[in-house]
Amino acid sequence: MQAIDRLKLLNQQMQFEPDTDVSPDGRATLPVACLEQRADDLYVHPAVMPNGRHIRLLKTQLTSVCERDCHYCPFRSGRDFRRATFQPEEFARLFMELHRRNIAEGLFVSSGLAGGGVRTQDRLLQTAEILRHKLNYRGYLHLKIMPGAEKAQVERAMQLADRVSLNLEAPNTPRLARLAPHKTFQEELLTRLRWVEEIRRTQPGHRGWNGHWPSSTTQFVAGGADESDLELLQTTEYLYRSLRLKRTYFMAFNPIPDTPLEDHAPTPANRERRLYQASFLLRDYGFSLEEMPFEAGGMLPLLQDPKLAWAELNLSAQPVEVNRADRAQLLRVPGIGPRGVDAILRLRQQATIRDLSTLKSAGILAERAAPYLLLDGKKPIYQISLGI
Ligand code: SF4
């Protein structure tokens, strides 16, 4: 198969891997409908960089051959589908050609496990070394850390990439056993995310290729192991607080034909959205896990935004005075995010805020916030919003 045909095959099989930012209400900052089809069926995704720049990101694997048999995965060994493989130099040169033609501005590269985690990581590192040092690639690079990779390899990946990630898939050992019985949660997976943070923390003077250590992320397959939202968010809270992950991604489980979980029910898309909303509350809004509005069985309400559910319980009877509340109190109000709080604090320095239109003009979802606010001591008049 021609190199470009192999790339198309691998690239199309990688569409489920996230790398773009997601806004606090759970929607992609750039909708999936914006996917651009370039170079005859090569998918290049819009992605938002840490500095806010939007780029076209090529996502691919070096190989879709895999020796593992994770129960949910389309690439599991023995599954009958068309696979493809690149050698590091061949792939790096092809990507640079696409980069020079301005088809892809950034790269997210992963791999099936072939020959063990260490060998597979070596091939990813070789690719990154060729890109950075032989072909002088200065663009965005997201490198996967393989299960079982060595610590020195993790550090080398961090010296070459802008972001590194390792997918935990499940929130803990018993749940992972349901999804991927031959992976070990602590030893093969979590330990490597711990190393990333340890390297960032203990080697502040030795940094990545562009002067910064890369950010780190992970992904969970939500619903594949019948885990609760509480379990997923417990691990998420630990990853944010202790390992400083930039983001935990949630992918709603969808059964793949010819896998052991092909008869397992798919996860509703709304669950994925609620998990994102709750994870942002943990990361950006000062909420703790204990404050999440879990229902029986440790699940979040599917039909209500968790911040709204919390506000219904806690703010309905005690609305927040916009002109006096501190930052932490304002962040608790539905419809007000970190940028909205900044805007309110600026507006308050100029004049007393007395109407919703002032908040609206500052980009705040004023109708959503209104039931939980006082404006100069008065309840605002507003239209009831469904607030989902
Ligand atoms: S190791 Fe990765 S690619 Fe291989 S089967 Fe498991 S999840 Fe899929």
CATH number at residue 264: 3.20.20.70
Specify if 308 maps to a domain: no
Domain that holds residue 203: 3-298
Domain end among 247, 268, 298? 298
The residue to mutate among 16, 63, 65, 68, having the most atoms of ligand 1 within 8 angstroms of its beta carbon, is 68
Q: What percent of the chain has pLDDT over 70?
A: 91
3-class DSSP state of 245: coil
Phi, psi (degrees; rounded to nearest 5) at 129: -60, -45
On whether both 112 and 137 belong to a single domain, the answer is yes
SS3 217: strand
Per DSSP, the three-state class of 110 is strand
| pTM value surpassing 0.85 | yes
Ligand 1: residue whose CA is nearest its atom 1? 68
Establish if 252 belongs to a structural domain. Answer: yes
- The Cα diameter of the chain in Å comes to 71
Q: 221 with 358, same domain?
A: no
pLDDT of residue 161: 97
Q: Quick one: pLDDT at residue 29?
A: 37
Query: Does residue 387 lie within any of the structural domains?
Result: no
Using the mean position of ligand 1's atoms as its centre, give its distance from the Cα of residue 136 in Å: 31
Res. 63 pLDDT band, cuts 50 70 90: very high
Note whether residue 383 is domain-resident. Answer: no
Q: Provide the residue count of the chain.
A: 388
pLDDT at position 37 is: 46
Query: Which protein residue's CA is at the shortest distance from atom 5 of ligand 1?
Result: 76
Ligand 1 centroid to residue 72 C-alpha, Å: 9
Counting the structural domains of the chain, the total is 2
Instruction: Calculate how far, in angstroms, residue 77's C-alpha sits from the geometric centre of ligand 1.
Output: 8
List Cβ neighbours of 114 (8 Å cut-off, separation of 6 or more): 63, 65, 66, 67, 85, 120
> What angle is formed at CA 106 by the lines to CA 103 and CA 110, rounded to 5 degrees?
115
Whether 321 is covered by a domain: the verdict is: yes
Place of tokens 């910064």: 212
Same domain, 153 and 221: yes
Residue 207 resides in a domain: yes
* Angle at 144 (CA atoms; ends 138, 146), nearest 5 degrees: 140
Residues 139 and 38 in one domain: yes
Band (20; pLDDT cuts 50, 70, 90):
low
47 and 164 fall within a common domain: yes
Residues 146, 23, single domain; the answer is: yes
Question: What is the per-residue pLDDT for 21?
Answer: 52
Q: Within this chain, do residues 96 and 240 fall inside the same structural domain, yes or no?
A: yes
Query: Of 38, 47, 46, 53, which Cα lies nearest the Cα of 103?
Result: 38
Does residue 27 surpass a pLDDT of 50?
A: no
Q: Which of the 8 DSSP states describes residue 80?
A: -
pLDDT tens by residue, 204-222: 777 788 889 999 999 999 9
Average pLDDT of the residues in 50-58:
85
Task: Note the pLDDT tens digit of each residue in 236-249.
Answer: 999 999 999 999 99
Does residue 228 sit within a domain? yes
**Is the confidence at residue 74, as pLDDT, over 70?**
yes
Going from the Cα of 291 to the center of ligand 1, the distance in angstroms, rounded, reads 35
Residue 208 pLDDT: 82
Are 255 and 285 found together in one domain? yes
* Residues 40 and 67 reside in one and the same domain: yes
Q: What is the pLDDT of residue 350?
A: 94
Distance CA 102, CA 96 (A): 9
Same domain for 320 and 212: no
Return the ligand 1 atom nearest residue 73 CA: 8
**368 alpha carbon – ligand 1 mean position (Å):** 42
Which residues are near ligand 1 (CB < 6 Å)? 66, 68, 70, 73, 75-76, 112-113, 180
Residues 250 and 360 in one domain: no
Pick the last residue of a domain from 268, 298, 328. 298
Residue at which a domain ends, from 273, 298, 323: 298
The β-bridge partners of 141 are 107
Q: Are residues 138 and 97 in the same domain?
A: yes
The answer to whether residues 96 and 135 touch, using CB atoms and an 8 Å cutoff, is: yes
Mean pLDDT across the chain = 90
pLDDT tens digits, 97-113:
999 999 999 999 999 99
Q: How confident is the model at residue 28 (pLDDT cuts 50, 70, 90)?
A: very low
**Do residues 216 and 196 lie in contact, with contact meaning Cβ atoms separated by under 8 Å?**
yes
Task: Read off the pLDDT of residues 284-293 as tens digits, 9 standing for 90 and up.
Answer: 999 999 999 9
Q: Given this model, what pLDDT does residue 92 score?
A: 98
